[in-house]
Amino acid sequence: MNLLLKSSLYTLSLTALIFTTSCTKTASDKTLKFGVKKSETLIVNLQTEPPSLDWNKSTDTTSSEVQGNIMEGLAQFDLADPELKALPALATKWESDKAVQKWTFELRTDVKWTDGVEFDAQQVVDGWERLLNPKTAAEYSYFLYNVKNAKAYNEGKIKDFSQVGIKTVGKHKLEVQLESPMSFFPSLLVHHSTYPVRKDLIEKHGDKWTEAGNMVTLGAYKLMKWEHDEAILLERNDAYFGEKAKTKYVLGRMITEQSSAINAFDAGEIDVIPELPSNDVSILKQRPEYQKQNGLIVYYYGFNTKQKPFDNLDFRKAVAMAIDKKEITKVLGQDDVTATSWVPKGMMGHEEEMGIKFDPAKAKEHMAKAGYADATKVPKITITFNTNENHKKVAENVQAQLKRNLGINIEILNEEWKVYLSKLKSKKGYSIFRMGWVADYPDPDNFLNLLTSTSANNHTGWKSEKYDSLIAKGVSELNSDKRKEYYKEAQKLVLEEDVAAVPLYYSIRQYLINSRVSGFKLNPLDEKDYKSVMVK
C-alpha cells in the first residue's frame, strides 16, 4: 500500500505543479494568442490554413476572406442593391464606349499601400500581367480572357504584354480593350485575382511576399502575424483610405473539424462560425446565436443526356416532374429555398415561375411516351454524388420519390471527391449527378455560362446553339431589361424544354455569432467584411 500511496502522490504533485503554473498564467487576464486583448479582437474561424494569400493565384474562399479584408479591388459590390451592382472602390468611376468593348477607369489618387507607396494604374496593369503570365499558372487567369489578346498571352502565343488590351493613360487612369462586348466587365474587377500588385515586392521576396512582415496591402486591415496552420492576426490599417475598421484586431483560427469549432465557440475561443455541421443544424437552429442568410448557390441534379435512358427527352421530363423539391429541403431541415430558375434568388436573372413543376400523374404519361410504360424495363439508373452527409440525404430522398412516383428502382453511389470529379470529366458511368455552383460574381452569366456547349463544367452532354447564342447576346447587352429577357429564354430552354438539369434548391448559409459581436453583416455573397464589426 505504501508503494501505491507514494506513486499516486508523486503523479498528483506533478499534475498539480503543471496545473498551478499554467492556471496562474492564463486566468489572470484575457490575453489571446499573439498577446492581443480579447476586448479589442474579433475571433473568427477560417476553418483551414489559407492555401495562399497570393491573390493572383488563390482559388479558395478562406484565402479570399483574408484577402478581401487586407486588400481592395477596383470595384466592390453594392450589398444593399437587390441586383448587387458593382460600385467604385479603388476606381472612382468607369465608362464604356457604345459597343461596350472599350472601358476606361479613373482611379483614386489618395490611396497609399501600407509601406507608404502611392497606389497607381501601373500596379493594376502589373497585377493583370502577372495573372495572365503563363509562368504564374494562375487558375483564375481565364477571368480576363475577354480582354484583347489576354488569352493568347496566357497561352504563350504572344510574348509581348503591350499587345494585351490594357494600358495606363496617365498615372491614375486605365484603358481596357475587350475582344467582345461585355456589359458586366466591372464586376470582374471585384474579384481578388484582378487586384493590383506590387511587382517590386514580389520580385524582392519571391513566393514569400505573402508572409507577415513582407506583405504590403492597402485594405482596411493589414497582415500582422501568420503562424502557418495555426492562426493569423490582422491589425487595423490606420492609413486606410476608406472608413477605418472599428475593431483593432482580427484573429483567424484554423479549426477544420466543425464540431470542434463549435466546442471552441462554446468555450469563447471563437466568435463567429461560418458553417454548421449538417447533422446538428436542427439543434443549433434553436440557439440565440444562430443566424442565416440566403446564398447565391444553386444545388442541382444533372442528367447525362448521352446515356440511356436520359437521352430520351420524355424520360427526362418524367423524372423532373416526379421530384418534389419541397420534400428535399424538408429532409435537409436547414431552411434552404426550393429552386425554380437556374439563377438563384437574390440576383438578376432569377425567375420565380420557372422550371418543371411537380406532377406525378403527368410524369407517368411522359414515362409511357418515352416507351417505359412498364417501369421494370427502365435501364439501370445511378445517382452519383461525392461522399457527404447532405448529398446522401438528397440522393436517398430522390431515390425514394422516384420509386414512389414512377416505380423506378434507382441505385445511389457515393464516391470520393476527386474520383467523382474525374468521373464527371470522363462523361461516363453516371446517369444522374449532383453539383452546385456558387457565384464568383453576382451576374447571371456566371451561372448560365456553365451550360454552354464549350463550358468545361457542363457535365450533361447537352448542347444547344440557340442557348449559346442567347448567352452570348446577354453578355454584350447593356440594357438590363433586355438581358433579363435573354436569360429567361435561355433558362426556359434548358430547364423546361430540353430538361438537361434540375435545380433543386438554393442553399442558405448558416452562422453562429457570439452576442459580444455586433455589426457583422451577412450578405448573399458571403463576403466577410470585418471593418464594420464591433466587439464588447
Partner 1 sequence: MGDKFSAFSKNHILDIYKIVMGILLATGFVVSVIGVDGMLTTILWSTIGALLFAGMIFLVIKQHLLPYLIKRFMEAGVTLLVIVTLVFLLLRLMPGGPFDSERALPAEVMANIAAKYKLDAPLLEQYTHYLGNLLKGDLGESYKYLGRPVSSIISDTFPVSLQLGVYALILSYLIGIPLGVIAASKHNTWVDTGSMFLAMGGVTLPSFLVASLFILIFSFQFQILPPALWEGPLYYILPVVTLGIRPAAIIARLTRSSVLDVIRSDFVRTARAKGLAERVVLFKHVLRNSLIPVLTYSGPLIADIISGAFIIEIIFAVPGMGRHLILSVTNRDYPLVLGVALLFSVLLVVSNLLVDIFYAIVDPRIKLAA
Q: Which residues of 363-375 are buried (b: 16+ CB within 10 A; e: fewer)?
A: bbebbeebebeee
Nearer to partner 1, 22 or 162 (CB): 22
Q: In this complex, which beta carbon is closest to partner 1, that of residue 325 or of residue 423?
A: 423
- Before 309, cis peptide (omega within 30)? yes
Identify residues 13-42 at the interface with partner 1 (CB under 8 A). 14, 18, 21-23, 25-26, 33
Asked if 434 contacts 383 with a C-beta cutoff of 8 angstroms, the reply is yes
Q: Distance (Å, rounded) from C-alpha 181 to C-alpha 146?
A: 9
- Between 193 and 405, CB nearer to partner 1: 193
By CB under 8 A, residue 203 contacts partner 1:
no
Rule CB under 8 A: which of 48-67 touch partner 1? Answer: 49, 51-52, 54, 57-59
Tell me the closest approach of the beta carbon of residue 309 to partner 1, in angstroms: 26
Q: Give dist(CA 507, CA 79) in Å, integer.
A: 18
Q: Kindly give the residue spans of alpha helices, DSSP state H, lying in 180-289.
A: 185-188, 199-205, 258-266, 281-284
Nearest approach, Cβ of residue 191 and partner 1 (Å): 13
Q: In terms of CB distance, is 263 or 409 closer to partner 1?
A: 263
* Cα 443 to Cα 182: distance, rounded to the nearest angstrom: 12
Angle between helices 313-321 and 360-369 (to 10 degrees): 160
| Alpha carbon distances (Å) from 106 to 71, 120, 169, 487 | 18, 10, 9, 31
Out of 40, 97, 238, 266, the only residue in the binding site for partner 1 (CB under 8 A) is 266
Q: Which of residues 38, 108, 148, 151 is near partner 1 by CB under 8 A?
A: 151
213 sits near partner 1 (criterion: CB under 8 A): no
Cα–Cα distance, 346 to 295 (Å, whole number): 8
Read off the DSSP letter of residue 493: I
- In the bound state with partner 1, the residue whose beta carbon lies nearer, of 47 and 305, is 47
Query: Does 389 contact partner 1 by CB under 8 A?
Result: no
Q: Is 228 in the site for partner 1 (CB under 8 A)?
A: yes
Packing angle of the helix pair 313-321, 389-406 (nearest 10 deg): 110
Does position 158 interact with partner 1 (CB under 8 A)? The reply is no
- Identify residues 295-324 at the interface with partner 1 (CB under 8 A): none
Torsion of CA 476, 480, 482, 486, to 10 degrees: 70
Minimum Å distance from CB 257 to partner 1? 5
Please identify which residue in 377, 418, 479, 515 interacts with partner 1, judged by CB under 8 A.
418
Nearest to 514 by CA among 266, 261, 256, 245: 266
3-state secondary structure of 231: strand
> From the CB of 419, what's the least distance to partner 1, in Å?
5
Give the one residue of 269, 359, 365, 527 binding partner 1; rule: CB under 8 A.
269
Binding span for partner 1 by CB under 8 A among 112-120, 169-177, 202-210, 514-522: 202-210
Interface residues with partner 1 (CB under 8 A) are: 2-4, 7, 11, 14, 18, 21-23, 25-26, 33, 49, 51-52, 54, 57-59, 134-139, 141-142, 145, 151, 154-155, 207-208, 210, 227-230, 253-257, 260-261, 263-264, 266-267, 269, 416-423, 425, 435-436, 455-457
